Structure 1
Amino acid sequence: MTDSRRGKGRLVADRRYPGKSTKAAKPKKAAPARRKATKARAKRGGIVGFFSRIFGWVFRFFLRLFVRAGIVAALIVAVFVGYEYTTLPEVSQALDGRARGSVQLLDRDGVAFAWRGDQFGGVVTADSVSPHLKNAVVATEDRRFYRHFGISPRGVASAVRINLSEGRGPLSGHGGSTITQQTAKLLCLGVQYDPNDWKNEAEYVADCRRGSLYRKAKEAVYALAMELKYSKDEILSIYLNRAYMGGGAYGAAAAAERYFSKPASALTPQESAMIAGLLTAPSSLAPTSNLERSQARAATVLRLMNEQGYLTDEETRAAQANPATLSEDAKTQTGGYFADWVMQSGPDFFTRDTTEDVIISTTLDQRIQKATEDAMKIIFSTKVREGSKAQAAIVVMSADGAVRGMVGGRQTNVSGVFNRATQAKRQTGSAFKPFVYATALELGYSPYDRVEDAPFCMNIPGSGQWCPENYTRDYAGSVTLVDALARSLNIPAVKVSESVGRDLVRKVSEDFGIASDLTDTPALALGASEASLLEMTGAYAGILNGGSSVTPYGLRELRLQGEEQPMMGAGGGIGERVINEQAARQLIWMMEKVVTNGTGGRAALPDRQVAGKTGTTQAARDAWFIGFTADYVAGVWMGYDDNTPLTGVTGSGLPAEIWHEAMRRIHEGMPVTPLPMIVPEPPRQVAQPQQQPQQQQAPQRQQGGGNALENALNQLLRDILGGN
């Protein structure tokens, strides 16, 4: 049998649809493509294929590693963000972030003139402030604020590039911080100020502002938590309330009141731009420090607002053409030296270290303050050589010790600097002599009593012989007390002081308010002791008020903000009587002669009486003029801080001129009132009776002057000269 299958194909059933099977056979043409792929794989063999496979494996490995590490890092960040989220305070608790309270000082008319501490004008929100302010802050500080999630990688990258291009470290200088991150810093990343943990508030704030990599990372986490906890407007509200805006103002409300005397809701575009511009450098850009610089910065902010669509071109041009200026109240802010003194004179827990908001009513008269400042400026600009480092100080007060004006140096409208009116202790020179004569008058001596102005020496135990001299180094012979004071003669002053008792002169001076230690030597009468200008002016106020001591004061009333009941009242005023009223009135008459007939002529005012006394210390290191009208007492001191002698200056010169210029301005428009003085009766020559030849005539002396003082002086000379 034959094998019927040999040479024959497989037995298959006939296809039912021959046409379709013919078309289905065509894909067999793809075989060449498969052959090409096989050849390509063959070509990738060898060295190139090996390294390609190695690279692919490494890439896939690190990709998987980074993805997994990213997931782990994201989970860790999420944990930290979640934790910070739970620690965030409610919005209402985060708005006022001050570590201490504020102090607002009001003048005698109730007008604010100075602020200390951390001023907070009240809570504002992003919706309650002017829309211009809201837009200005966003345009200046974070233009993508409403689009990012708390941090801006683009902003950080740009800041790093700028820092590196300017030669700084990547985190030094520009920070690329969003408003959310800046708010996180203002919240100090949740760390509360505790006096037990920090040396002072400044150290706490410095730590909050540190820019290390760790702090930046923590700041970013805190910002992310804030974005989850608060809305964008709530974050902006915290920022607008906590940010420091110069001039002691914290928050938009305080800044609007401080600079423009209006609420934050009423700010114009240019005012809003000025406040927003302060955020980069609040102290140096504050309009109260440098208005022109602040206006220039505001113009830049207005341009940014225009570029971002917040202002039209027309609105921008109008705002830039009319820049914001300080309100009239802000312009007239004066009395930095006075404010510092009041803050130092009050209790620390209500002034420098207060945690409450405090309002202090003071005695300051801003019109008088401006007059003293203007007088200082005009004399130094017209009478003092350019480049001179000489300083001066002025104090003006009422007869009860209420200080109305104070300038503690040539620089005005400054605070926190050395106050020569209250802190400097200088020799008083002849300005001390009125207290010598006050003691004599209190003991019953007359202004017409006479004393010999002639060469005079004393033996001082432990020092040897001391021979005082007059400033002119000549002698006037027999002079009255009034003439000796008017001409500021030294020898008569020493003789009177020693005759009435040096201890009594010291007591009278101390009772009048000179609290500094007074020397117990004959040089006491010549002002060898030191005192402050405030002490001396207060002592002269005691002469004007009729012989009663005064304690100079500036604080009238202190109360907490929102409270009607004061916490404390005035800390000074008229005290006990020192000399009788008649003696005080006669002394005023004697001091009036200093101005009309003596060394104080340059202080004379054209329309009213003036009494006072000049003073110049040894080598002209200090020059004084202290005097008064019926209305005010004013003291002027001039000298160098390092005790360098003045050149060509005495108390009768520039100090008297400064005094004259200040008091002329102060008394403009005031009614003329005469000085409260008593003109003593002149000495009378009593007619001698007829003598009997058998009786010996006793010498007759003038009544009304000469007896008491001459006897005392004769006895003093006998004691000094050993009974000769």
Structure 2
Amino acid sequence: MTESRRRKAPLVADKRYPSKRRKPTATKRAAKPAGKKAVARKTTTRKTTRKKTRRKSGGGGGGIFRRFFRWVWRLIWGVTWRVGAVAAMLLALAVGVVYTTLPDVNELLDGRARGSVTLLDRDGKVFAWRGDQFGGVITAGTVSPHLKNAVVATEDRRFYRHFGVSPRGVASAVRINLSEGRGPLSGHGGSTITQQTAKLLCLGVPYVPSEWESEAAYESDCRQGSLWRKGKEAVYAIAMEVKYSKDEILTIYLNRAFLGAGARGFEAASQRYFGISAAEVNPAQAAMLAGLLVAPTRYAPTNNLQRSQDRARLVLGLMEAQDYLTTAQASSARSNPAQLSEAAAARAGGYFADWVITELPSYFGADTTDDVVIKTTLDQRLQKSAEEALKYIFQEKVREGSEAQAAIVVMSADGAVRAMVGGRQTRVSGAFNRATQALRQTGSSFKPFVYATALELGYSPLDTVVDEPYCVNIPGSGEWCPKNYTHKFYGRVTLADALKNSLNIPAVKVAEISGLDNVRTVASEFGIESDLAQGPALALGASESTLIEMTGAYAGILNGGSAVEPYGLSELKLLEDDAPVMVTSSGIGERVINDKAAKQLTWMMERVVSEGTGARAQLPGWQVAGKTGTTQAARDAWFIGFTADYVAGVWMGYDDNTPLSGVTGGGLPAEIWKETMLRVTEGMTPTPLPMLAPDPPVKTAQPQRQRRQGRAFEDAINNLFKNIFGN
């Protein structure tokens, strides 16, 4: 029995997995009943089919939703790819149309609507610019690699990888705008360099003056940020990508971008700010230039150098992060920020340049469509002297917080203006110029023209006049009684002493005897073009004039008595021409008083400085002639004087006519004049003034006749008084 059980185990094992171990033999397959086999297969098939059906049905209602969503998706996809295909076709058509309108790349490089004016000083060095500057064509291949990299790093890091529009950049800009509480298209634009170039080209619409209210209106239209405009901009940008290479697009951008201070293009900006070509800029300079793109006027280094340097540091960080600069290069550039060139830093002659431009015919000045080069009379050493002198006096001698203003003009005897300061803020352009635009009462600085008239009529500086109480009845105004500044009377004085001490009553009497009309004629012929007072107050400077007119009139005294027209332009030519269009070599005009009278007047004015009210203007080793002037209530204070080489005029006062506190022409204005001329004459050899002392009275055996000659002027005045007032 035990053996029987042992035998059954392997038999059972043999029958457990017959299909896996061996296939049935043909004999065995044939032995199975055929009908039974067929039925088994049929039953298996049915079961499988039912299971698959259940799987497809999804177990009931869920399959309906799947079929619905699948249908919706197919519908959306079908509509989307069809709309997309139509949109792509329309976009391609629009791009193709724009493509056909794009000109050769060389025609798009100079984007100025008007020409430029470059101003040179008397030595031929550039000191100022006006109008849109275009420094010349640069290309992406010739510009400094640092500048090229700075622009790409700052404005469009994926410039060389996109097709003109950057969806990622637009999405990022929209997100930032929304997070900052602005509209999606307000603020950050996400524009690529190509799109910015399209905007600079105004999408191919040229500026036609007759079609626009102004150039500003045209530029405003070009910069609008509507959705429709953005769409057109994108189309234009893609067309540019098809038409031009990346470097050609970058070249257009580098030449047309506005970079502040009138500079159009990076070459003009580099020349203006650094005095070098854009091909030569270092990383620090490149970063400063690229930093201007975001806000040219705000970040212009001529407006605020520190702000511009701070912006450049951010650009250097971007260049370092994008591997355009090594850590050492970026650190070195931060440690040595870009500095302005001497001309850009000094802004020498800002007032002067404005004045020169206004003196030009409009077609050569502000409205020029040509590139004009003007050589001027400006001497930058003298300009610096005047600016430093003004700054020194206001720092050392004027109370802190004072809003008093001052102006200075320095010129040669022929009227060539060498320096001009139109106010305390010297580094400006387009500001109110107190040297040329401010009409102010001249006070006693007008008196030399009263005595010039008397000398021209034959009177001597040694002729006398009585300083005594004096009143004049002025029709319509009543009685007018002038008084001296000291409120004292000095009796009989010579004309020379009357001028030296700036006595008012003698000046009025001399003007009356010389003829008020004659005085007005002499003053106007010397260049004082303002309306001159009609009454006797004319002698005391009741009329208004500008500082440049008064300084020019004094230059006429220095040059021997001939009229002077102050001028700043010595030569004008178009950039492409060699021959000048305009040349000015002198401002001297017709003679006003004779040479002897001019030299005697100079002698009288020298005594004003050496002995009289202008003592604070004395220059060690130099002969100086001049005259002080203070108007009623000290609203204006003047000192105008000259050496043998230069005439300088100084005015001081408040723009709103507030009276000066404790200031007269012989005070701070004389000190400003002295500080200016100390710097101007530094290193120069003193030259004597062209003056002539009057002959002293000669004692003879005929004292009666000599007394009559000595009292001729006084007798004439007395006779005049008798005719007017009787005995």
Q: Taking structure 1 as the reference length, what is the TM-score of the superposition?
A: 0.93
User: Secondary structure at 1:431's aligned position in 2?
Assistant: helix
The amino acid across from 2:682 in the alignment is E
User: CA offsets, 1:530-585, max 9 Å, x none?
Assistant: 10001000000000000000000001111000211111122861000000000000
How much has 1:57 moved relative to structure 2? 2.6
* Kept in 1: contact 2:469–2:489 (CA 8 A): yes
Alpha-carbon separation, structure 1, partners of 2:298 and 2:57: 75
Gap runs ≥5 in structure 1: 1-14, 690-698
1:458 pairs with 2:462:
no
- Which residue is equivalent to 1:484? 498
- Which residue is equivalent to 1:561? 575
- Match of residue 88, structure 1, among 82, 102, 109: 102
Alpha-carbon separation, structure 1, partners of 2:48 and 2:701: 157
* Kept in 2: contact 1:359–1:560 (CA 8 A): yes
- Match of residue 34, structure 1, among 31, 40, 49: 49
Where does 1:610-625 land on structure 2 (aligned, <5 Å)?
610-625=624-639
* Kept in 2: contact 1:102–1:115 (CA 8 A): yes
- Which residue is equivalent to 2:650? 636
User: Secondary structure at 2:294's aligned position in 1?
Assistant: coil
1:139 pairs with 2:143:
no
Summarize the Cα distance change of 1:154–1:715 in structure 2 as closer, same or farther, 3 Å threshold.
same
Gap runs ≥5 in structure 2: 1-25
Alpha-carbon separation, structure 1, partners of 2:688 and 2:472: 42
Summarize the Cα distance change of 1:38–1:398 in structure 2 as closer, same or farther, 3 Å threshold.
same
User: Secondary structure at 2:374's aligned position in 1?
Assistant: strand
Q: Taking structure 2 as the reference length, what is the TM-score of the superposition?
A: 0.92
Alpha-carbon separation, structure 2, partners of 1:369 and 1:705: 47
How much has 1:688 moved relative to structure 2? 3.8
1:336 pairs with 2:350:
yes
Alpha-carbon separation, structure 1, partners of 2:319 and 2:47: 68
* Kept in 2: contact 1:553–1:571 (CA 8 A): no
How much has 1:243 moved relative to structure 2? 0.6
Alpha-carbon separation, structure 2, partners of 1:30 and 1:609: 132
User: Secondary structure at 1:185's aligned position in 2?
Assistant: helix
The amino acid across from 1:705 in the alignment is G
- Which residue is equivalent to 2:534? 520
How much has 1:289 moved relative to structure 2? 2.4
* Kept in 2: contact 1:685–1:702 (CA 8 A): no
User: Secondary structure at 1:401's aligned position in 2?
Assistant: coil
User: Secondary structure at 2:259's aligned position in 1?
Assistant: coil
User: CA offsets, 1:213-232, max 9 Å, x none?
Assistant: 12111111111111111110
* Kept in 1: contact 2:473–2:479 (CA 8 A): yes
Alpha-carbon separation, structure 1, partners of 2:521 and 2:352: 29
- Which residue is equivalent to 2:561? 547
- Match of residue 63, structure 1, among 65, 69, 77: 77
Query: What percent of counterpart residues are identical?
Result: 67
How much has 1:138 moved relative to structure 2? 0.6
- Which residue is equivalent to 1:296? 310
User: Secondary structure at 1:452's aligned position in 2?
Assistant: strand
Alpha-carbon separation, structure 1, partners of 2:49 and 2:315: 68
1:176 pairs with 2:213:
no
- Match of residue 718, structure 1, among 694, 716, 722: 722
How much has 1:259 moved relative to structure 2? 2.2
- Match of residue 280, structure 1, among 291, 294, 297: 294
Alpha-carbon separation, structure 1, partners of 2:452 and 2:116: 45
Summarize the Cα distance change of 1:117–1:535 in structure 2 as closer, same or farther, 3 Å threshold.
same
* Kept in 2: contact 1:253–1:264 (CA 8 A): yes
| Higher mean C-alpha deviation, range 101-110 or range 57-66 | 57-66
- Which residue is equivalent to 1:6? none
* Kept in 1: contact 2:561–2:591 (CA 8 A): yes
Alpha-carbon separation, structure 2, partners of 1:293 and 1:184: 29
Summarize the Cα distance change of 1:284–1:43 in structure 2 as closer, same or farther, 3 Å threshold.
closer
Alpha-carbon separation, structure 2, partners of 1:643 and 1:571: 38
- Which residue is equivalent to 1:603? 617
1:535 pairs with 2:549:
yes
User: Secondary structure at 2:293's aligned position in 1?
Assistant: coil
User: CA offsets, 1:362-392, max 9 Å, x none?
Assistant: 0000000000001111111111111111111
* Kept in 2: contact 1:603–1:659 (CA 8 A): yes
| Higher mean C-alpha deviation, range 90-99 or range 35-44 | 35-44
User: CA offsets, 1:326-382, max 9 Å, x none?
Assistant: 234433441100000000000111110111111000000000000000111111111
The amino acid across from 2:53 in the alignment is T
How much has 1:80 moved relative to structure 2? 1.6
Summarize the Cα distance change of 1:483–1:53 in structure 2 as closer, same or farther, 3 Å threshold.
same
User: Secondary structure at 1:92's aligned position in 2?
Assistant: helix
Alpha-carbon separation, structure 2, partners of 1:55 and 1:572: 93
1:368 pairs with 2:382:
yes
Alpha-carbon separation, structure 2, partners of 1:28 and 1:575: 131
Alpha-carbon separation, structure 2, partners of 1:180 and 1:472: 75
User: Secondary structure at 1:265's aligned position in 2?
Assistant: coil
How much has 1:312 moved relative to structure 2? 1.9
How much has 1:52 moved relative to structure 2? 4.2
| Higher mean C-alpha deviation, range 350-359 or range 579-588 | 350-359
Summarize the Cα distance change of 1:53–1:420 in structure 2 as closer, same or farther, 3 Å threshold.
same
User: CA offsets, 1:386-430, max 9 Å, x none?
Assistant: 111111100000000000000001100201010010011111010
Query: If each structure's helix is expressed as a fraction of its own residues, which one has the higher value?
Result: 2
User: Secondary structure at 1:419's aligned position in 2?
Assistant: coil
User: Secondary structure at 2:402's aligned position in 1?
Assistant: coil
User: Secondary structure at 1:702's aligned position in 2?
Assistant: helix
* Kept in 2: contact 1:683–1:702 (CA 8 A): no
1:705 pairs with 2:724:
no
- Which residue is equivalent to 1:448? 462
Q: Which runs of 4+ in 1 moved over 4 A?
A: 25-33, 41-46, 48-52
* Kept in 1: contact 2:57–2:63 (CA 8 A): no
How much has 1:168 moved relative to structure 2? 1.3
* Kept in 2: contact 1:615–1:650 (CA 8 A): yes
Where does 1:177-326 land on structure 2 (aligned, <5 Å)?
177-326=191-340
- Match of residue 161, structure 1, among 175, 183, 188: 175
- Match of residue 111, structure 2, among 97, 100, 114: 97
